[in-house]
């Protein structure tokens, strides 16, 4: 039936000679002037300090840039327009005919999910399938 279209993401990573760049794991940027959509400072996901409670002397950040998707790129976000919605409906018919496969998440359902929504959807799917 052809490819569904997606948006992709490109990352630029940087090691900084400072113990703290932004004080938390992720900051989103929504203004037109900023070329990236998010900065992730990885240490704040789990290990922001050493075993003695001191800051590490360096930090690693990743700037996330929205990018056009093409086949071969990693798909991140569905393109929710009429063309792709119609194409997805055709794929959904084929998917529903597969009795031993469960399609879920952003790619499997061609739907944007925040993490809390995808966890809820996965739990609901488990309940439907396993009772």
Please report, for the chain, the start and end positions of each structural domain, with discontinuous segments joined by +.
6-68, 80-130
Contact between 102 and 81 under an 8 Å Cβ cutoff? The reply is no
User: How far is it, in rounded angstroms, from Cα 59 to Cα 22?
Assistant: 10
CA distances from 43 to 29, 40, 51, 81, 96 (A): 19, 9, 13, 37, 42
Query: According to the model, what pLDDT value does residue 63 have?
Result: 98
Contact between 65 and 40 under an 8 Å Cβ cutoff? The reply is no
User: How far is it, in rounded angstroms, from Cα 8 to Cα 10?
Assistant: 7
**pLDDT of the chain, 131 residues: tens digit per residue:** 999 999 999 999 999 999 889 989 999 999 999 999 999 999 888 766 777 877 788 899 999 999 999 888 999 899 989 999 999 999 999 999 998 998 988 888 999 888 899 899 999 999 988 98
Query: According to the model, what pLDDT value does residue 47 have?
Result: 67
What's the predicted TM-score (pTM) here? 0.69
């Amino acid at each position: 039936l052809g490819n569904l279209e997606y948006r992709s993401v490109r990352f630029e990573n940087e090691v900084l000679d400072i113990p703290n760049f932004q004080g938390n794991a992720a900051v989103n940027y929504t203004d037109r002037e900023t070329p990236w959509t998010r900065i992730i400072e990885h240490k704040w996901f789990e290990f922001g300090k050493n075993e003695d409670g001191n800051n590490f002397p360096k930090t690693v950040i990743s700037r996330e840039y929205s990018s056009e998707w093409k086949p071969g790129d990693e798909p991140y976000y569905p393109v929710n327009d009429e063309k792709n919605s119609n194409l997805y409906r055709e794929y959904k018919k084929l998917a529903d005919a597969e009795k031993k496969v469960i399609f879920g998440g952003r790619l499997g359902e061609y739907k944007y999910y925040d993490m809390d929504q995808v966890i809820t959807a996965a739990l609901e799917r488990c309940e439907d399938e396993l009772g």
